[in-house]
Chains A and B, each alone.
Chain A
């Protein structure tokens, strides 16, 4: 169409001025993509870590266990067969948990003592992969304990030293026993790492005084999209148990997820606003310096609808040609950074404590690129209205008078 041709060529009349706008859009889109990918990479890492090392996807407890953390609130039903039969559930771990103290000769701290079955945890929580000193649980040894390196530092103990754990048993009697540190782990989340220690379930249950004591069932499912369905299914089968997903267990994860989206949206709004002003400014200049020409066009018979359309098209083209290129560069940047990762260990002291990885792998869904493209399009469309109105308000006679 001829008007499109005119609009397109008009953009290139003030090459530098147009290139500034196009460059601004390009850099804006590019940096926004990088920013978004970085933030989502951070969140993703945080959420993944939380799921992997702390919450799993779904946990089952006695409904009162979470509040009181008392040994007495056990899961009495035997769910083993039932859970194994469910194909959506990939792996499951059964734990007994005692809340008590860990003591060294130098210091003491309150912790959750988790009695675990090593093979199950290996499949589920991957703590075994985060052993930084010593080993994971070894066979045929009693009273092994795995603590985090941070905790060991607080307690001022070293590998293969003994520590004492103590808590109230089912009869409210204090029980204590000494354990030898066989391994130390570090997941990156200092706060969480300080809060738990791992022992063999048989050892713990012996202290508790009940050999089938069970407080927590944690599971990982195949497809996170199905999270709510699986949870609902379990809830209806076991109405007397508390069945929570990871967002409910760790509300901070959800908060974090939603906060990232809020701040990204605000950022996008600011970017769009700046873009609107930039585009309007450029297009107003373009319209004003073409007053005579527009007057001539209306004199010879180009009606207002067509003039309006021409200016809108011109603005749209100007506003969006930078976007695909910005997206391409953004996509390449994200792809590259996703491969290499961004090492934040320089700031890690602060970050690690909040459970984030020190290396971030930015990533972005295709959907986000589409959303951004639509945002740019809407921005350009909004920006086009004012200059186009300005153009059709011109009175041809007055415009031509200026000849």
Chain B
């Protein structure tokens, strides 16, 4: 079943002044359980596409369906609430709330979902164990390495039980060992829990781990290969 469907998405930045055609008609379908990389040269529109799929930005033309919902029908707060329940995000950096510990960061999103304290505790513990941070639960982001912070971000993204997880260059700030560890972990979650991952990257080693690679060039899908 498709969790993400895009129909002829176009995105033009600054349509009035100096228009930038970031996306020129993107048709895409991503099914449950995929482990998909979006690649392409700098400026090809990867971030723009992920932001539109994630409901952080709106397309100039075209439609986006997430888990069957046309997200253009959602208003400001409605969109935020929709993201909370359906989409997990992992950003390049600044993923975490600096004043909260790893455990509290994971709990926070479940608090937004009004989950009980008991459920939050239990799931935060499980997830942090799963991402290999059982001894770092009470550390604040500042006290964690970049790789560890990204693991917390993964745990946080999983905590809300989203339909899929979007990650825009999640390894851009990591060394090669942390990159490999993070990818191992994401791949394992994908294999064992069936969690859908869509991530953008420049890193060939990351691209090699993907099972489907979509290449964007100049705002268009140039290649779409499944391995």
Q: Report A's interface with B, CB cutoff 8 A.
A: 2-3, 5-6, 9-10, 13, 292-293, 296-306, 396-397, 400, 403
Interface bits B100-115 vs A (CB < 8 Å: 1, else 0): 1000100111011100
| Complex partner residue of A301 from B51, B85, B95, CB under 8 angstroms | B85
Given A297-B97, A301-B112: A403 in contact with B83 (beta carbons within 8 A)? no
A306's nearest neighbour on chain B, judged by CB, is B112
- Whether B95 pairs with A397 at a CB distance below 8 angstroms is no
- 21 examples of A-B residue contacts, CB within 8 angstroms: A2-B111, A3-B111, A6-B97, A6-B108, A9-B99, A10-B99, A13-B98, A296-B89, A296-B94, A296-B95, A298-B80, A299-B54, A300-B157, A301-B84, A301-B85, A301-B112, A301-B113, A304-B76, A305-B77, A400-B51, A403-B92
* B224: Cβ under 8 A from any A Cβ: no
Q: Are A396 and B56 in contact (CB under 8 A)?
A: yes
Query: Which chain B residues in 36-87 approach chain A with CB under 8 Å?
Result: 51, 54, 56-57, 76-77, 80-81, 83-85
With a cutoff of 8 Å between Cβ atoms, the chain B residues found around residue A9 in the complex are 99-100
The 4 closest A-B pairs by CB, nearest first: A301-B84, A9-B99, A397-B56, A303-B80
A396 to B84, CA, bound (A): 13
Q: Are A403 and B112 in contact (CB under 8 A)?
A: no
Seed contacts A299-B54, A301-B84; 12 additional CB < 8 Å A-B pairs: A13-B99, A292-B94, A293-B98, A296-B94, A297-B97, A300-B109, A300-B157, A301-B80, A302-B80, A304-B77, A400-B51, A403-B91
Residues in chain B within 8 A of chain A (CB atoms): 51, 54, 56-57, 76-77, 80-81, 83-85, 89, 91-95, 97-100, 104, 107-109, 111-113, 156-157, 160
Inter-chain contact B94/A304, CB cutoff 8 Å: no
Tell me, rounded to whole Å, the shortest Cβ–Cβ distance linking B69 to chain A. 15
Closest chain A CB from B90 CB (angstroms):
10
Q: How far is the CA of A293 from the CA of B97 in the complex (A)?
A: 7
Which of A3, A6, A10 has the most CB atoms of chain B within a 10 A radius of its CB? A6
* 8 Å CB contact of A403 from B80, B93, B107: B93
B160: which A residues are within 8 A, CB to CB?
300-301
A396 to B157, CA, bound (A): 17
Chain B nearest CB, measured from A208 CB (Å): 86
Note all chain A residues with C-beta closer than 8 A to B107.
2
When distances are taken between beta carbons in the complex, the residues of chain A under 8 Å from B97 are 6, 293, 297
Is A400 in contact with B84, judged by CB distance below 8 angstroms? no
Residues of B within 8 A of A400 (CB): 51, 56, 91, 94
| Structural contact, A300 and B99, CB atoms closer than 8 A | no
Closest chain B residue to A301 by CB distance? Answer: B84
Query: With a CB–CB cut-off of 8 A, which chain B residues contact A304?
Result: 76-77, 80
Q: Is the CB of B89 within 8 A of A303?
A: no
Q: In this complex, what residue of B is CB-closest to A291?
A: B94
B100 engages A6 (CB within 8 Å): yes
- In chain A, what residue has the closest Cβ to B159? A300
Specify which chain B residues have a CB less than 8 angstroms from the CB of A297 in the assembled complex. 97
CB closest chain-B residue, reference A2: B111
Which residues of chain B are near A306, meaning CB under 8 Å?
A: 112
Once the chains are docked, how many angstroms separate the CA of A396 from the CA of B54?
Answer: 11
User: In the complex, which residues of chain A have a beta carbon less than 8 angstroms from the beta carbon of B83?
Assistant: 299-301
- Asked whether, in the complex, the Cβ of B99 is within 8 Å of the Cβ of A6, the reply is yes
The distance from the CB of B81 to the nearest CB of chain A, in whole angstroms, is 6
Q: Which residues of the other chain, A, contact B91 by a CB distance below 8 angstroms? A: 296, 299, 400, 403
> If the complex has contacts A2-B111, A10-B99, A304-B80, are A293 and B94 also in contact, measured as CB distance less than 8 A?
yes
